[in-house]
């Protein structure tokens, strides 16, 4: 016997509707299950990311810039500028008047002592020599005549004196001949004096002839020449300078202008380095030879000249070049050093209630040879810069010798890291 089922309005039976409802409930449960699994997986991933990020989070950044101690040399230096000059420079002039007939050397010509540099017309001088020699010969002839007259007077006087002794001649005759003899001797002396004067004049004339040949007084190099053939030289009042000769260009000197604040650090024998613009890659070694007491005053700036002798084996340095001299006044090696930035550092004072920095408390005075640094203590974010007084020595302006007051592992604060400014709401 079959059971009949009532039809629903949409044409389906009640049984079919129940089946569909059951299927819908089952599908909904599965959908919620999938959603739960997905949400759980997402939660696990987020949690893992948080843990990893927490573990890998970088440490807090330091707000200070630091520098460790180093070991090495520190050289205290004084820098000055000056002009390069030959170690010995000789001015060669003319002592004779006349026209220049020959110039035998030029700029940069090497010369030897006694070498002829130029010649001046010697016609006038040689004529004067010839005239002097003629005068000398004439005076010598006159001297011979005077001596003969004197000898005759002496013989006559001797004969009359013998006759006078025999009462054969009078006293008046003796006196007359004695007077004539004295006159003859005086004439001889006068001629001798004249000859002396003529000989002196002749020597001067011969010297003037030698002056027409201008000679080098030293071995060296011609660095200046001011005459040409045909020029007229007038040396009546002052000998004009015709040549400048540098004795040896392998040794030069620099007259360095040292500031008055640094002159007390200089001593003779200190080593130096010199550089010139013409050869920027070359360093020329030298030695301080003299620190002069005479000051130079240029517009109120006082400097003192220091004479520095420089080796110039390749003859690269030339007279007149401007050289920068670095003088090593003090030098230490294999010493602990601190950077000068650490000695200059001062902590930034905190802000006050009004947002402006509070005035920094005054530092305790330092004794001679002391400095103040700040050592980094602690770790971020609780680190701080702790002041320390240290003993210091030689400084080169960048680093300073440390004599005591720090440990090798100390980190010196040199500056502060700029913190980002807080931004307002707008």
Give the pLDDT band (50/70/90) at residue 177.
confident
Q: How confident is the model at residue 393 (pLDDT cuts 50, 70, 90)?
A: very high
- In this predicted structure, what is the pLDDT of residue 168? 80
pLDDT tops 70 at residue 405: yes
Helix/strand/coil percent split, the chain, to 5: 30, 35, 35
Q: Please provide the DSSP assignment of 255-282 as one string.
A: EEEEETTTGGG--TT-EEEEEETTEEEE
* Per-residue pLDDT reduced to its tens digit, 256-283: 999 999 999 999 999 999 999 999 989 9
57 DSSP 8-state letter: P
Q: What strands, in cross-sheet order, belong to the sheet with 213-215?
A: 213-215, 116-120, 98-103, 232-233
pLDDT in tens, 56-70: 555 556 788 999 999
The pLDDT confidence band at residue 229, using thresholds 50, 70 and 90, is very high
Query: Is 316 a residue whose pLDDT tops 50?
Result: yes
pLDDT value at position 263? 94
Q: Rounded distance, CA 33 to CA 30, Å?
A: 5
The pLDDT value given to residue 92 = 93
Class of domain 91-121+212-247: mainly beta
Quick check: do 77-87+248-331 and 91-121+212-247 share a fold? no
User: In this predicted model, which residue has the larger pLDDT, 58 or 308?
Assistant: 308
What percentage of the chain reaches a pLDDT higher than 70?
Answer: 84
Residue 3: pLDDT above 50? no
Q: Write down the domain spans for the chain.
A: 64-74+336-416, 77-87+248-331, 91-121+212-247, 123-211
Q: pTM of this prediction? A: 0.61
Q: Indicate the pLDDT class of residue 41, thresholds 50, 70 and 90.
A: low
Average pLDDT, the chain: 85
Q: What confidence score (pLDDT) does residue 362 get?
A: 84
> Which residues share a beta bridge with 82?
256, 323
**Fold type of domain 77-87+248-331:** Elongation Factor Tu (Ef-tu); domain 3 (2.40.30)
Confidence of residue 423 (pLDDT cuts 50, 70, 90): very low
Residue 425: pLDDT over 50: no
What average pLDDT does range 173-194 have in this prediction?
87
Asked if omega into 381 is within 30° of 0 (cis), the reply is yes
pLDDT above 50 for 119: yes
Which pLDDT belongs to residue 387? Answer: 92
Q: Mean per-residue pLDDT for 330-342?
A: 93
pLDDT of residue 348: 85
Residues 29-43: what's their mean pLDDT? 61
Most confident of 35-49, 141-155, 244-258, 408-422: 244-258
Partnered with residue 288 across adjacent β-strands are 308
pLDDT at 356 over 60: yes
What pLDDT is recorded for position 1? 41
Distance, CA of 250 to CA of 317 (rounded, Å): 9
Mean pLDDT lowest among 24-28, 148-152, 339-343: 24-28
Is 397 exposed, middle or buried, given 0-12, 13-18 or 19+ CB atoms closer than 10 A? exposed
pLDDT at 426: 39
Mean pLDDT for 166-195 is 86
């Amino acid at each position: 016997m079959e059971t009949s089922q009532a039809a629903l309005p949409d044409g389906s039976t009640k049984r079919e509707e129940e089946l569909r409802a059951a299927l819908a409930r089952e599908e909904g449960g599965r959908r919620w299950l999938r959603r739960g699994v997905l949400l759980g997986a997402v939660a696990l991933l987020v949690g893992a990311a948080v843990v990893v990020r927490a573990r890998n989070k970088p440490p807090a950044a330091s707000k200070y810039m630091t520098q460790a101690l180093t070991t090495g040399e520190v050289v205290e230096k004084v820098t000055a500028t000056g002009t390069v000059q030959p170690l010995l420079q000789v001015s060669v002039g003319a002592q004779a008047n006349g026209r220049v007939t020959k110039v035998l050397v030029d700029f940069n010509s090497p010369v030897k002592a006694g070498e002829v540099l130029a010649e001046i017309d010697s016609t006038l001088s040689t004529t004067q020599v010839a005239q002097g020699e003629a005068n000398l010969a004439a005076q010598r002839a006159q001297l011979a005549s005077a001596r003969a007259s004197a000898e005759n007077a002496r013989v006559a006087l001797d004969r009359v004196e013998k006759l006078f002794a025999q009462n054969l001649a009078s006293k008046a005759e003796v006196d007359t001949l004695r007077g004539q003899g004295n006159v003859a001797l005086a004439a001889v002396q006068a001629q001798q004096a004249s000859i002396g004067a003529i000989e002196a004049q002749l020597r001067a004339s011969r010297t003037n002839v030698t002056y027409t040949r201008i000679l080098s007084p030293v071995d060296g190099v011609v660095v200046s020449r001011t005459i040409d053939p045909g020029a007229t030289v007038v040396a009546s009042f002052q000998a004009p300078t015709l040549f400048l000769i540098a004795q040896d260009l392998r040794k030069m000197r620099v007259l360095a202008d040292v500031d008055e604040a640094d002159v007390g650090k200089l001593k003779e024998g200190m080593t130096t380095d010199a550089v010139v613009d013409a050869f920027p890659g070359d360093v020329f070694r030298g030695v301080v030879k003299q620190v002069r007491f005479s000051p130079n005053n240029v517009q109120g700036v006082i400097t003192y000249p220091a004479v520095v002798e420089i080796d110039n084996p390749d003859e690269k340095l030339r007279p007149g070049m401007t050289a920068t001299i670095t003088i090593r006044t003090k030098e230490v090696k294999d010493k602990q050093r601190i950077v000068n930035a650490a000695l200059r550092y001062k902590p930034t004072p905190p802000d006050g209630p009004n947002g402006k920095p509070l005035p920094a408390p005054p530092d305790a005075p330092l004794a001679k040879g002391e400095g103040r640094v700040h050592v980094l203590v602690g770790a971020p974010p609780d680190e701080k810069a702790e002041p320390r007084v240290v003993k210091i020595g030689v400084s080169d302006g960048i680093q300073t010798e440390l004599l005591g007051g720090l440990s090798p592992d100390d980190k010196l604060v040199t500056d502060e890291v700029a913190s980002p400014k807080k931004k307002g709401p707008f």
